């Protein structure tokens, strides 16, 4: 990533053309106040670090009375090694690969609980999670080789996947469809969400070098229904139309702007702007709807508390902005949230905001 930082000037010029006049993108902390924004003023900020947490203590939960009695701070409800995350109804759902559960952080009540069913419904290695509007929770479990499905009360509903059929990793919900990346067969499986019947798989020709996937880990669906697949083994993101036809490839192996060392999480906003986590860099790179690089943020050396450490997954959320508006820098509003998991360090979940003028 040294080369990435050295070429920040070039990236700034690119961003100025493609991002509405945005002239820079260096991952630096604003020196004039306590707000961490990207890029640094006097350039117009687009991304702001809002907050982070790794335990219920960080949210303001836990018991102060217990702290007083035992004479030391007790760690309440920690998240150990997160991967996938999503947000729904004020709650952040995070797959904890070390503990084999899904933590549910209630950002309004400042409490954390766990989805940790026992017996035949137990999770073994939860990787990614999606939550439907009715509260149904879908969790990919690569050790079980199934998608585990629970209702909003955490009751087990169904396991999707037969023995040796697939090794699910990424998951997404959009419209009446359920999307699952399959590491075992290096493809993406598209299901009817209502009856969980398989509709089709892609890439359609696994021998086509241009369209093939090597290690599809994560997936996001853009406003046009196009499927953005993070191919960790191919060092890129590949885009397919709603029927699974190849559209384009974004990125290649390397440590320059627009290239990837270890792409993992992928997310997309309502304008089609795409965010890609590079776990090895480690930064998040942002592209426009045509795959042109706009900016990056989160490089640890220059980002203070906003630095990312072994980042894994990313999610965009518009529905819960009100819970974080108090963190916005003066003169700005938060358009939407960008949530990222870190597998190392105390800040297991970092929350950023995409900024707009009031």
pLDDT digits (tens, 9 = 90+) for 221-259: 999 999 999 999 999 999 999 999 999 999 999 999 999
Low-confidence winner among 32-41, 152-161, 306-315, 347-356 (lowest mean pLDDT):
32-41
What would the pLDDT profile of 186-214 be if each residue is shown by its tens digit? 999 999 999 999 999 999 998 899 999 99
Given a cut of 50, is residue 64 above it in pLDDT? yes
What backbone torsions phi and psi does residue 65 show, to the nearest 5 degrees? -65, -45
Between the CA of residue 146 and those of 62, 119, 188, what are the distances in Å? 34, 15, 14
Q: How far apart, in whole angstroms, are the C-alpha atoms of residue 67 and residue 257?
A: 47
Length of the chain: 358
Q: What pTM was computed for the model?
A: 0.90
- Taking each continuous run of H as one helix and of E as one strand, the counts in the chain are 4, 25
Given a cut of 70, is residue 18 above it in pLDDT? no
Q: How far apart, in whole angstroms, are the C-alpha atoms of residue 223 and residue 268?
A: 8
Q: How far apart, in whole angstroms, are the C-alpha atoms of residue 88 and residue 333?
A: 21
| Cβ atoms 137, 160 nearer than 8 A | no
Average pLDDT of every residue of the chain? 89
């Amino acid at each position: 990533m040294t080369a990435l930082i050295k070429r920040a000037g070039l990236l700034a010029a690119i961003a100025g053309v493609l991002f509405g006049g945005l002239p820079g993108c260096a991952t630096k902390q604003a020196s004039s106040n306590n707000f961490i924004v990207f890029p640094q003023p006097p350039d117009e900020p687009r991304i702001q670090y809002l907050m982070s947490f790794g335990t219920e203590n960080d949210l303001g939960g836990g018991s102060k009375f217990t702290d007083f009695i035992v004479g030391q701070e007790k760690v309440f409800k920690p998240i150990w090694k997160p991967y996938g995350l999503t947000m729904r109804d004020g709650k952040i759902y995070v797959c904890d690969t070390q503990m084999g559960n899904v933590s549910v952080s209630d950002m309004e009540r400042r409490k954390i609980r766990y989805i940790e069913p026992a017996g035949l419904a137990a999770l073994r290695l939860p990787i990614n999670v999606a939550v439907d509007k009715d509260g149904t929770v879908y969790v990919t479990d690569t050790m079980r080789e199934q998608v585990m499905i629970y209702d909003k009360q955490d009751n087990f509903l169904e396991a999707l996947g037969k023995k040796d059929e697939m090794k699910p990793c990424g998951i997404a919900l959009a419209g009446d469809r359920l999307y699952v990346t399959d590491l075992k067969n290096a493809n993406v499986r598209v299901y009817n969400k209502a009856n969980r019947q398989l509709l089709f798989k892609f890439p359609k020709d696994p021998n086509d070098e241009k369209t093939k996937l090597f290690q599809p880990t994560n997936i996001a669906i853009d406003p046009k229904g196009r499927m953005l697949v993070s191919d960790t083994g191919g060092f890129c993101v590949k885009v397919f139309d709603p029927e699974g036809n190849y559209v384009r490839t974004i990125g290649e192996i390397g440590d320059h702007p627009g290239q990837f060392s270890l792409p993992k999480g992928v997310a997309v906003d309502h304008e089609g702007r795409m965010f890609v986590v590079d776990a090895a860099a480690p930064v998040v790179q942002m592209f426009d709807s045509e795959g042109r690089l706009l900016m990056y943020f989160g490089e640890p050396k220059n980002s203070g508390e906003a630095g990312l450490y072994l980042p894994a997954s990313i999610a965009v959320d518009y529905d819960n902005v009100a819970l974080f508006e108090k963190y916005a820098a003066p003169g700005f509003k938060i358009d939407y949230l960008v949530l990222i998991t870190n597998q190392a360090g105390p800040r297991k979940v970092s929350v950023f905001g995409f900024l707009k003028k009031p």
